[in-house]
Amino acid sequence: MRIVLVGPPGAGKGTQAAYLAKNLSIPHISTGDLFRANISQGTPLGQKAQEYMRAGQLVPDEVTIGMARDRMAEPDAAGGFLLDGFPRNLSQAEALDGILRETGTELDAVLDLEVPEDEVVKRIAGRRMCRNDSTHIFHVEYSPPKAEGVCDACGGELYQREDDSEDTVRKRLEVYHSETEPIIDYYKAQELVVTISALGRVDEVTRRAMEALGRSA
């Protein structure tokens, strides 16, 4: 299956993407994770992306689209993939259509995770990520680790993402409404959108998502 996951920052895209990709046996491709990996490795691409991410802005398309295209061309993505955080504006959506056309493939679904804005702010303020694995995600209140600051899954150090600060979150939400939300209408016109509520327990949301995709969890 070829799936695009959309939703505001804090909707739980990263968490859900990890479970869905595993259930569907497809790679989870997150442009945010790819940028963060480039930043921690100090690559030129990471250096370019960092200032935009710090400001809560989108990294320019000429950087992002090439990176996403290269990742989708890797062998593990030949049979399908779950895109998390790409496309994030209309020109990226059009570029993705072009990439799919070139490979003679198409999207199966666009899964839209819906969550009220006040919930988004609460989720992001308390979010803590593991330095070893970006899919190990905790929340100081909703899903706290057993020991403060330590990942339950692997013992890695937990940290707060630099762009999860209140000001940057506000900017990211603004960017989501003005640049990313329009892609939902773009995909509605292609009858690809399935919308689910992202409220509730993580496993409940995963089950809802699998059902919406026509698969049982």
Q: Which residues bind ligand AMP (CB under 6 A)?
A: 9, 31-32, 35, 52-53, 56-59, 64, 85-86, 88, 92, 163, 172
Closest distance to ligand AMP from the beta carbon of 214 (Å): 25
What letter does residue 192 receive in the DSSP assignment?
A: -
Concatenated DSSP letters for 105-162? ----EEEEEE--HHHHHHHHHTEEEESS-TT-EEETTTB--SSTTB-TTT-PBEE--G
Closest distance to ligand AMP from the beta carbon of 92 (Å): 6
Catalytic residue among 36, 127, 128, 208: 127
Q: Is 128 a catalytic residue?
A: no
What letter does residue 73 receive in the DSSP assignment?
A: T
Catalytic residue among 36, 128, 172, 208: 172
15 vs 31, beta carbon nearer ligand AMP: 31
64 vs 206, beta carbon nearer ligand AMP: 64
Q: CA torsion, points 196, 197, 203, 204, in degrees to nearest 10?
A: -90
Residue with smallest beta-carbon separation from ligand AMP? 32
Catalytic residue among 2, 88, 128, 208: 88
* Contacts with 200 (C-beta within 8 Å, 6 or more apart), sequence order: 208
9 vs 27, beta carbon nearer ligand AMP: 9
- CA angle, 143 then 14 then 48, to 5°: 125
Q: Is 170 a catalytic residue?
A: no
Closest distance to ligand AMP from the beta carbon of 174 (Å): 11
Q: Which has the closest alpha carbon to 173: 110, 124, 111?
A: 124
Closest distance to ligand AMP from the beta carbon of 32 (Å): 2
Q: How far apart are CA 79 and CA 2, in angstroms?
A: 8
92 vs 206, beta carbon nearer ligand AMP: 92
Residues acting as catalytic residues: 13, 88, 127, 161, 172
